[in-house]
Amino acid sequence: MPSRRTTAGDIERYAGLFARRTHGMTSSAMRDLMAVTNRPEVISLAGGLPDTSTFPPELFSSLMSKVGATSSAQALQYGPTEGLPEARDCIVQVMAAEGMHVEADDLLVTTGGQQVIDLVARTLIDPGDVVIAEAPTYPGAVPVFASFQADVVQIELDADGLRVDLMESTLDRLQTEGRRPKFIYTVPSFQNPAGVTLSLERRQALVRIAKERQLIVLEDNPYGLLRYEGDAQPTLFALDGGEYVTYLGTFSKILSPGLRLGWCAAPRPVLERLNAANAAADLCSAPLAQYFVGAYFREHDWRSYVRTLSEVYRRRRDTMLDALAEHLPREASWTHPQGGLFIWATLPDYIDTTDLLARALRENVAFVPGRAAFLDGRGGSSMRLNFSGVGEDEIREGVARIGKVVREQVALYSTLTGAVPADPTARHARTAEPDAPGATVHEFRARRAGDR
């Protein structure tokens, strides 16, 4: 980030040059936050970082030595936009491990999973087109949807994931209003940020709706293999057979995000457009990283590393759940994820987590304020907590620090209002209903062309 802050004069000089799509981009607060959380004294529960220190450095070195010895010139060269055969063959294996059967030609290798969201939005969204997302949704998708000027309709989650029962009435209403949704964006397993998992019945219902209404579903599944309890669920892609479901996968959470390698599997006509957009965006994804993945899958049992990660993260999840029970006041509630990286906690509605973050940072702890997961400013009393990126001691200490600033706010509120704490049975709720449970469908209408 530039150290010299922009002056008003600078802004004025260039103001007229920026495209309308940039007006809705709201990522700078998150980026400023990330800059703060990089300070070594801060315990960050904000990021979605895997623990890459669990990957053996000597394995990294030996794999790269082999890539150098056998494929230096190719690893350093441009590659095909759709990805190298070596990498696509590995992806076929990863998808098979979750019950999906694809050929290499069904796949497009991308620069991380993030690029899939970007390419899908870019390929499908005209300003004002509707995207259906979860409430809350992945905070990193919010600036993508905003930058393509989408109208995002967010449908509530509960402990069983997206409220698919609300989908049909929402689609009917949109149709009445003459608004056609272009795609449904969902993270069905261990959702980011809520941690909840879509039930089998809802998965089947969602796929049926997509087929009946000829709607594309973008299934974002970075964590599906990181399950710590309960039975695996079939992916939407597996249930649908790849007809209406476009699948987003990534090596970021099962190997490394520093490679920047993700992929999508999609119906062929969609894949061809995504591939053309991919070429325009960055020509191809790094062959260097693709050769590393190829060598890793040849030389090593990739599933054993996923098992290692799952064991580490399961313990950290349990540690965080225990710490939340110990340190958050009874008015708070939080989700119990069966896998993935995140817990979603909701505080009494008089606490604003964006304000709370400023206090928390003074205590050297960070989280993602809930508003980052909505396009309409909602989520103000919730927060996303990550348990994969730091060790168990830091999780305990980080949650204790958050507990301290939360309890201060609760005490302040009680003093000011004379209020009594809420019903203790709300404590340790298995699933926090995202705030304001009465309102189940949230809308955000991006700026239209004329709104400059």
* Of residues 116 and 198, the one with the C-beta less far from a copy of itself: 116
Nearer to a copy of itself, 64 or 209 (CB): 64
Nearest to 290 by CA among 85, 68, 55, 54: 85
- For tokens 């695996």, name the residue: 232
Classify 395 as helix, strand or coil: helix
**How many residues contact a copy of itself, by CB under 8 A?**
106
Minimum distance, C-beta of residue 224 to a copy of itself, in the bound complex (Å)? 20
Q: Does 256 bind a copy of itself (CB under 8 A)?
A: yes
Taking residues 58 to 87 in sequence order and writing x for each that binds a copy of itself by CB under 8 A, - otherwise, the string is: x-xxx-xx-xxx--xxxxxxxxxxx-----
Residues within window 279-318 making contact with a copy of itself, judged by CB under 8 A? 279-289, 292
Q: The tokens 């730091």 sit on which residue?
A: 390
Residue 129 in contact with a copy of itself, rule: CB under 8 A: yes
Of 30-38, 232-240, 348-356, 359-367, the segment contacting a copy of itself by CB under 8 A is 30-38
Reference 430, options 230, 167, 184, 135; nearest CA is 230
Query: CB under 8 A: which stretch of 136-144, 314-322, 361-369, 406-414 binds a copy of itself?
Result: 136-144
Spell out the alpha helix ranges (H) of 258-375: 268-282, 287-299, 302-327, 353-362
Q: Is the CB of 214 or the CB of 415 nearer to a copy of itself?
A: 214
d(Cα 272, Cα 106) in Å, to the nearest integer?
10
Nearest to 52 by CA among 356, 312, 294, 244: 312
DSSP state of 432: P
Q: Helix 302-327 crosses helix 392-417 at what angle (to 10 degrees)?
A: 30
Contacts of 196 (CB under 8 A, 6+ apart): 157, 158, 159, 160, 161, 190, 335, 337, 344, 431
Q: How far apart are CA 403 and CA 359, in angstroms?
A: 12
Query: What's the distance, Cα to Cα, between the start and end of the chain in Å?
Result: 26
**For a copy of itself, the closer CB: 133 or 324:** 133
Q: Does 115 contact a copy of itself by CB under 8 A?
A: yes
Separation CA 436–CA 439 (nearest Å): 6
Residue 32 Cβ, how far from a copy of itself at the closest point, in Å?
Answer: 11
Which among 112-120, 164-172, 307-315, 411-419 is the span making contact with a copy of itself, rule CB under 8 A? 112-120
151-158/161-162 β-pairing: antiparallel
Q: Which of residues 258-277 bind a copy of itself (CB under 8 A)?
A: 258-260, 267-273, 275-277
Q: Please provide residue 385's backbone torsions phi and psi, each rounded to the nearest 5 degrees.
A: -120, 130
Q: Does 210 bind a copy of itself (CB under 8 A)?
A: no
Which x/- pattern over 370-409 shows residues binding a copy of itself (rule: CB under 8 A)?
----------------------------------------
Residue 150 C-beta: closest distance to a copy of itself, Å: 10
**Nearest to a copy of itself of 52, 169 (CB atom):** 52
Residue nearer to a copy of itself on the CB measure, 200 or 279: 279
Within 10 Å of residue 156's Cβ, how many Cβ atoms? 18
Interface with a copy of itself, residue 39, by CB under 8 A: no
SS (H, E, C) 167-191: HHHHHHHHHHCCCCEEEEEECCCCC
Query: Exactly one of 133, 135, 140, 194 binds a copy of itself (CB under 8 A); which one?
Result: 140
Q: Is 14 in the site for a copy of itself (CB under 8 A)?
A: yes
Considering the complex, what minimum distance in angstroms separates the CB of residue 348 from a copy of itself?
32
| Rounded Cα distance, 73 and 342, in Å | 40
To the nearest whole angstrom, how small is the minimum distance from the Cβ of residue 396 to a copy of itself?
22
> Under the criterion CB under 8 A, does residue 420 sit at the interface with a copy of itself?
no
Interface segment toward a copy of itself; rule CB under 8 A; list 114-122, 300-308, 319-327, 339-347: 114-122
415 makes contact with a copy of itself (CB under 8 A): no
Given the rule CB under 8 A, which of 1-9, 227-235, 375-383, 400-408 is the region that contacts a copy of itself? 1-9
Other Cβ atoms closer than 10 A to 55? 16
> Of 77 and 169, which has the nearer Cβ to a copy of itself?
77
Distances (CA, A) of 7 to 3, 4, 13, 17, 29: 12, 9, 10, 16, 18
Residues of this chain, 326-365, that bind a copy of itself according to CB under 8 A: none
**Residue 22 binds a copy of itself (CB under 8 A):** yes
Would you state the structure tokens that stand for residue 206, as one six-digit string?
């969602």
| Cα–Cα nearest to 117, from 46, 50, 237, 216 | 216
Within 174-193, which residues bind a copy of itself (CB under 8 A)? 180, 182-183
Residue from 43, 44, 90, 114 that binds a copy of itself (CB under 8 A)? 114
